[in-house]
Structure 1
Amino acid sequence: MPRFSVIVPAYKVQAYLSECLDSVLSQSCPDLELIAVDDCSPDACGAIIDEYAARDARVKPVHLAANQGLGPARNAGMAEAAGDYLVFLDSDDTLTPGALRAVGDRLEETGDPDVLVFDYARTYWDGRTVRNQLAGRLTEQGPAPFRLVDRPELLGVLMVAWNKAYRREFVARHGFRFPPGHYEDTPWTFPVLMTAQSLATLDRVCVHYRQRRRGSILGTTSRKHFDLFEQYDRVFAYVDERPGLARWKPELLRRMLDHHAVVFSRPDRLPRGSHGEYLRRARAQCRRHRVQGVRLKPRQALVRFGLHRTFRALRLAAAVRRRAGRAGAGWVRGLRTAVLRLHYRVQLCLPLRADRAVFTAHEGHGGDPAALEAAFRALAPQVRTAWLVRPGQERAAPPGPRPLTPGTAACWTALARSRYLVSDAGFDARMRKRPGQVFVQTRQGTPLAHTGLDLLERPAAARGTDFAELLRGVDQWDHVLSGNRHTTLTWERTHPGSYTTLEYGLPRNDVLQRATAADVARLRASLGVPEGTVAILYAPAHRAHLRTQRPLPDLERVLRRLGPRFVVLARTHLPVRGSGIIDVSGHPDPAGLCLASDALLTDHAPVMFDYANLDRPIVVQTPDREVYEAVHGTYLDLRAFPPGPVVRSDDELIDVFATGLWRDARSAGLRAAFRERFCPWDDGRAAERVVRRVVLGETDLPPVVPPGERTAVPAAGAPVPPVTAPQPSRPLPVTESH
């Protein structure tokens, strides 16, 4: 018996169906059956379903002889289901990677409740993804499982069938079925939640809810929206037959009035001339299901009493107020912008302040600018430093410099009159660099993927880059930092300008050379790394061609095979959960994560160049190498010059760690050659050299300690003998074959 039965009804969705089915079959939890119901669709949906069934035994095709609608199609799928839990998925939506694994873990954690409610995000045709605004109601804090009376706010979450998992035995015992009609979710969801004896929540986006530009059933102007009256009558009939549920009538009434108000007020729902009829029927329905003493909001009351003209008049008045408010706000914003622009022009006419420096970083914290700011204060204390702190990034800003909010008068004053400007990206595009100002551009590490003008041939990776603006920014640079000759040659070709390249190393890597064993122990304790374990830092590259960033290896499977002596510090672009996985995606200090780990697992991320300074094992897994290189382009063939073992599959990855190849002599040799090439100047004094040269004007700078003579702090993990998992049954490539 499978754990999950995923039911997907399909009708006129041939353009989206394959993506939907793929999102189910690619789940990291394989214990599922996919019941795809062809609701007599006139397009290719039936053929697509049959093709998937022929390729994957987990797919059960169901073909209906006549079109019955979404509700009856789901019922047909339920009749074929054999899983412990039912999951419904509309055929133009998708499951997020790892969704069923997370659902299964939460079900086990909460004792297999009748219903588990999880979150969703709306995905728009223009690429935007917006999470449910009521996600806070799905918090996992507090006792679980629980009953609806303990958390009635769940009735306010979107009333659909596809944001929940249902215990099949519970559904069968109570005979729940979907009715026909266009609002079939309403008489399903309310009774299910009210009847369930045990509920739980999962605060995770498990479904991407596609928002089509056109073609959505509920976004079509039609009298089919009058179906809502019949569906709410079904809900109240269900409650009337069960006196124990009478307590929910007031809340049901309010929810029904809100629902009617939405349908009535949306311009794309009711046909012209039908609005009066709709409100009259809403008033009659409220009388049929009258509940004494219910307090209503003004909008609910207008629907309750069928005040058609009053409702429309108030809507018009509210629209007028909103427009007037926007116009007034726009005028105020325009005046403020003009005043700030004038203020900036005045400041540009005043003398520069040689004792001022302004810093900013792309992610709001850390990196090379923060390391340089600390060096400014240590070596040139006469220079007062300030840090641009964007709203929401206050906690991430370094503690030393004076914080400045972008767009304020103080910020424009600092940009106009500070002698030193330091950034790893850039400042406001409206900023004018003055003669006498010194702009130090640190960039963001060693480039591996294509950058700058090379992105002209990579539109997917460029993502709308304004190359004219990019070159205007380059013209402001005076100095660009470089950590190796590869970086120097790349920047000077892809960002052509008259700046001077400072081949002094990367300041952000100074801490990797200066850290002590006590620092490592403190960092591991703060992250919750168990003593005696080997911590693998997993840090993949961002993939511009993917809407949802997800881990490419199955981290839970890898850890199960390797045993409890290994843990993973997952620094991904999407939260990762699971046994032995510590999610550090939001950790503000990448260097601290490097120090706390014993090995690095990455793919195309530039973090490998920084990590090589620690002389700790690096393993590269590139399962999508061809796709990544086609989209982003790469400057380095990791198969020809790897920092350690290079693998493609999870099985090869497990073998590398299980057999000890990740830390053997060959791996150490590869790493030494890699470090010699890409870390020649990172000896812990890079920031000092920059400050002495740029601020103090010194030319006799501290000599660089060669890589072979440096001693980095050792890893803290206990040695692991190569017996934590079975030996490989085939020869293992240490580097990926061509």
Structure 2
Amino acid sequence: MPRFSVIVPAYKVQAYLSECLDSVLSQSYPDLELIAVDDCSPDACGAIIDEYAARDARVKPVHLAENQGLGRARNAGLAEAAGDYLVFLDSDDTLTPDALRSVADRLKETGDPDVLVYDYARTYWDGRTVRNQLAAQLTEQGRAPFRLEDRPGLLRVLMVAWNKAYRRDFVRAHGFTFPPGYYEDTPWTFPVLLTAESIATLDRVCVHYRQRRQGSILGTTSRRHFDLFEQYDRVFAFVGQRPELDRWRPELFRRMLDHYAVVFTRRGRLPRGSHGDFLRRARAHYRRYHVPGARVRPRHALLRFGLHRTFRALQLAAAVRRRMLKGAVKLARALRTGALRLHYRIQLRLPLRSDRAVFAAREGRGDPAALEEAFRTHAPHLGTAWIARPGREQAAPPGPRRLTPGTAAYWSALARSRYLVSDGGFEGRLRKRAGQVFVQTQQGTPLAHAGLDLLERPAAARDTDFAELLRGVDQWDYVLSGNRHATLTCERVHPGRYTTLEYGLPRNDVFQRATTQDVARLRASLGVPEGAVAVLYAPAYRDHLRTQRPLLDLERVLRRLGPRFVLLARTHTPVHGARIIDVCGHPDLAALCLASDALLTDYAPVLFDYAGLDRPIVVHAEDWAAYEAARGVYFDLRAFPPGAVAHSEDELIDIFATGHWRGSRSAQLRAAFRERFCPWDDGRAAERVVRRVVLGETEPAPVVPLGDRTPVPAACAWSPPATVPPPSVPLPVTESH
């Protein structure tokens, strides 16, 4: 008997069906059956289902003789189900990677409840992904499992069948089935939640809910939207047969009125001329199911009295009010922008302040933060300020004064500060003055193509304005570089009159200054269990992929490596799982490097930084050909790697399992890599920059030879081995808010 029965009804979705089925069959939790129901679809859905059934024994094809609609197609799949839990998935939606494993883990944690509610995100045809706005209702804090009266806010979450897992014995014991018609989820989900003796939640996006540009059933103009009245009749009939559920009538009444108001006001649902009839039906239901004393919203009164013309008049008045308000806001913004521009022009005419420096970073802290600290240490007469962008305030270092973009103080600082330091640039309206010094720190050592080389890589260049890029380059006075390769590449792809300071990367100075106590403190703050081997997983961004997801099955890798290993996952989308610590939003990459014992990456620039730590690096180069074709690279990393190279997931597991990841051959490769790419990273790069740019010293400080450097060792080099127990609760997550 499988753990999950995933039921997918299909009708006229041939363009999306394969992606849906693949998302189920590729789950890292394989104990499932996939019941694909062909609802007599006139397109190729039936053939696609048969093809999948021929390839995978877990697929059960069901072909209906005539089209019966979504609800009855689900019932047909339900009759074939043999799994412990039922999962419904619409055929144009997809399960997210590792969704079923997360569901299975949560079911086990909560003692196999009747219903598990998980989260979803809307995915739009233009590539946007927006998470459910009521995700807070799915918090896993507090007692679990629970009954609905303990968490009534769950009734506010979208009432659909596909964001829940249902214990099959519970469903069959109560005889739950889907009715015919539109909105068939309504008389399913309300009775299920009201009846369940045990409910649990999973605060994780498990379903991507596709928002199709055209063709959505609920977005179709039709009188079939009137089916909604019959569906709520079924809900209240269910409650009427169970006196113990009477206490839920006020909440169901409010939810019903909200639902009617949405259908009535949403453009494109009701045919022209049918709104009055819909409102009259709504008024009849208001009177039929009204609960004395139930609190209602003002718009519910319009449904109560069926005031169609009044409703339209109020809608028109609200639209006029919105337009006026929008115009007023637009005027206020224009006035504010004009005032700030005038303020900036005035500031540009005032004398420069030679004792002021402004710092900014695109993401996290990086080189600008390290330089800011060095400015205060070696040039204490300078006052420093940090541009803290909205939503990234946590990334600001603790020392400098904070500036908010778009404020008068911000423009004053840009206009009058002598030193401007950034890894990406400032406002496009910035006018660099005579006497100002612009230090561009770059993003590290380049492996992938950058700058003008992206002209030949449209997938990677995307919307890059190369004219604007070169205007920015013309403002640079100094560019930092960590090695000769970075120097030669930058001067070619960013041609300009600037001076390259090949002094090392300031952000890596901490690797030479940190102590074992610092490493222990960082590991504790991240939730790394004592004695664990922490592997930092930091893959590169794939420009050629619209959806960024790890190429590795991280949980499978950890299971094969054993309980001593944990993973610090710095991926481009959040990941979850046992012994996986999500550090996607952590503002300080250097801190993550220090906290880890090894780096697992592919083509991310962090591998050049990490080499300066002299800790093991493993390169996963499974999709090298695709990455090279889409992005372009400056050398073959497989031919000159910083450590062991894996070309598949199984090979990667073998590298760790056999100890090759930290063997003598890997150490030899890393030594050659450090000699080429880390010649200056001795802990004094930031000091060299300050002495040259601010203090005017032309000769850089001597470099400590590679053999004499003492980067802080990895924790597993000085802590005794230990077996990490499986966590009873999810490991802590460090996020940037």
What TM-score results when the alignment is normalised by the length of structure 1? 0.96
1:508 pairs with 2:507: yes
Which residue identity lines up with residue 450 of structure 2 in the other structure?
T
Distance in structure 2 (CA, Å) of the matches to 1:210 and 1:692: 56
The Cα of 1:304 is off from its aligned counterpart by: 2.1
For residue 274 of structure 1, report the CA deviation from its aligned partner.
0.7
What whole-Å deviation, never above 9, does each CA across 1:105-132 have from its counterpart, x for those lacking one?
Answer: 1111111111111111111111111111
Match of 1:487 in 2: 486
- SS of the residue aligned with 1:121? strand
The CA distance in 2 between the partners of 1:618 and 1:124, in whole Å, is 38
Q: Which amino acid aligns with 2:271?
A: P
Letter in 2 for 1:653: L
* Structure 2 equivalent of residue 251 of structure 1: 251
Using a 3 Å threshold, how does the CA distance of structure 1 residues 401 and 509 change in structure 2: closer, same or farther?
A: same
Residue number in structure 2 paired with 1:703: 702
- Counterpart-to-counterpart distance in 1, 2:209 and 2:457: 29
Cα deviation per residue 1:47-99 (whole Å; 9 max; x = unaligned)?
11111111111111111111111111111111111111111111111111111
Pairs within 5 Å for 1:152-167:
152-167=152-167
Counterpart in the other structure of 1:118 = 118
1:100 aligns with 2:76: no
Counterpart amino acid of residue 475 in structure 1: D
Q: Is the 8 A contact 1:533 1:718 kept in 2?
A: no
> What are the residue-to-residue correspondences of 1:514-553 with 2, within 5 Å?
514-553=513-552
* Partners of 1:6 and 1:460 in 2: CA distance: 36
Distance 1:112 1:544 in 2: 41
- Aligned residue for 2:369? 370
1:334 alignment counterpart? 334
The residue number in structure 2 matching 1:416 is: 415
For 2:622, give the aligned amino acid: P
Residues 720, 647 of structure 1: CA spacing in aligned structure 2 closer, same or farther, 3 A cutoff?
Answer: farther
Q: Distance in 1 between matches of 2:632 and 2:17?
A: 31
Kept in 2, the 8 Å contact 1:539–1:600? The answer is yes
Q: How does 1:328-727 map to 2 (within 5 A)?
A: 328-363=328-363, 365-717=364-716
Amino acid at match of 1:617: P
Partner of 2:83: 83
The Cα of 1:686 is off from its aligned counterpart by 0.5
Confirm or deny: 8 A CA contact 1:568 1:581 kept in the other structure: yes
Matched, 1:298 2:298: yes
Please list the CA deviations of residues 637-656 of structure 1 after superposition, one character each: whole Å capped at 9, or x if unmatched: 12100111111222212211
Per-residue Cα deviation, 1:165-198 (whole angstroms, up to 9, x for no partner): 1111111111111111111111111111101111
Q: For residues 320-331 of structure 1, what are the structure 2 equivalents within 5 Å?
A: 320-331=320-331
Aligned to 1:28: 28
| SS of aligned partner of 1:237 | helix
Cα 1:722/1:251, change in 2 over 3 Å: closer
Contact in 1 for aligned 2:182/2:225 (Cα 8 Å): yes
| Residue 731 (structure 1) aligns with | none
Give the Cα separation in 1 of the matches to 2:158 and 2:543.
30
Q: Is the 8 A contact 2:531 2:720 kept in 1?
A: no
Query: 1:309 is matched with which residue?
Result: 309
> Which amino acid is the alignment partner of residue 219 of structure 2?
G
Q: 2-side partners of 1:112 and 1:682: how far apart?
A: 54
Partner Cα distance (1:503, 1:162) in 2: 56
Counterpart Cα distance in 2 of 1:604 and 1:306: 63
Question: Which residue is equivalent to 1:54?
Answer: 54
Residue 64 (structure 1) aligns with: 64
The alpha-carbon deviation at position 718 of structure 1 amounts to: 5.1
1:393 Cα deviation from its structure 2 partner: 2.2
Q: Does 1:260 align with 2:260?
A: yes
Question: Which residue is 1:729 aligned to?
Answer: none
Partner Cα distance (1:563, 1:469) in 2: 50
Question: Aligned partners of 2:170, 2:452: CA distance in 1, in Å?
Answer: 59
The residue type equivalent to 1:338 in the other structure is G
What is the Cα-based RMSD across aligned positions, in Å?
Answer: 1.6
Shift of 1:633: 2.1
Give the 3 Å change call, closer, same or farther, for CA 8–719 of structure 1 in structure 2. farther
SS in 1 for 2:425: coil
> In the alignment, what sits opposite 1:217?
217
SS of equivalent to 2:500: strand
Mapped to 2, the partners of 1:267 and 1:527 lie a distance apart of 48
Distance in 2 between residues matched to 1:720 and 1:409, nearest whole Å: 51
Q: Provide the secondary structure at the position in 1 that maps to 2:577.
A: coil
Q: Distance in 2 between matches of 1:301 and 1:504?
A: 72
User: SS at the partner of 2:509?
Assistant: helix
SS of the aligned residue for 2:716 comes to: coil
Say if 2:9 is the partner of 1:19.
Answer: no
Q: 1:543 deviation in Å? A: 2.1
Q: Quick one: which amino acid aligns to residue 214 of structure 1?
A: Q
Looking at structure 1, the residues matched to 39 and 721 of structure 2 have their Cα atoms a distance apart, in angstroms, of 54
Q: Are 1:481 and 1:502, in contact at CA under 8 Å, matched by a contact in 2?
A: yes
CA shift, 1:619, in A, is: 0.6
CA distance in structure 1 between the aligned counterparts of 2:321 and 2:721, rounded to whole angstroms:
71
Residues 398-431 of structure 1 show CA distances to partners (whole Å, capped at 9, x for unaligned) of 1111111101111111111111100001101111
Cα distance in 1 between the residues matched to 2:701 and 2:423: 24
Q: Decide which moves more: 57-66 or 710-719.
A: 710-719
Secondary structure (helix, strand or coil) at the match of 2:122 reads strand
Structure 1 residue matching 2:121: 3-state secondary structure: strand
CA distance in 2, matches of 1:716, 1:91: 48
Amino acid at match of 1:83: G
Secondary structure of the 1:386 match is: strand
Q: Tell me, what secondary structure is at the counterpart of 1:356?
A: strand
Mapped partners of 2:59, 2:633: distance in 1: 38
Instruction: Kindly provide the amino acid, as one letter, of the partner of residue 405 in structure 1.
Output: T
Distance 1:721 1:336 in 2: 61
- Listed one character per residue, the Cα deviations across residues 135-169 of structure 1 (whole Å, up to 9, x for unaligned) are 11111111100000111111111111111111111
Normalising by structure 2, we get a TM-score of 0.96
Shift of 1:533: 2.1
* Runs of 4+ with >4 A deviation: 718-724
- Give the distance between the partners of 1:182 and 1:34, measured in 2 at CA: 24
Identical residues among aligned pairs (%): 80
Q: How far is 1:552 from its partner?
A: 2.2
Which deviations, in whole Å up to 9, do the C-alpha atoms of 1:432-452 show, x marking residues without a partner?
111111110001111122222
Count, aligned residues: 723
Residue 194 of structure 1 corresponds to which residue in structure 2? 194
Report the CA distance shift for 1:545/1:97 in structure 2 as closer, same or farther (over 3 A).
Answer: farther
Pick which of 550-559 and 667-676 moved more: 550-559
**What is the Cα deviation at residue 489 of structure 1?**
1.7
What corresponds to 1:318 in structure 2? 318
Offset at 1:723?
A: 14
CA distance in 1, matches of 2:639, 2:654: 21
Deviation at 1:722, TM superposition (A): 12
Residue type of the alignment partner of 2:223: R
Residue 680 of structure 1 deviates from its aligned partner by: 1.0
- Contact 1:443 1:480 survives alignment (8 Å): yes
Is this contact kept in 1: 2:532–2:722, CA < 8 A? no
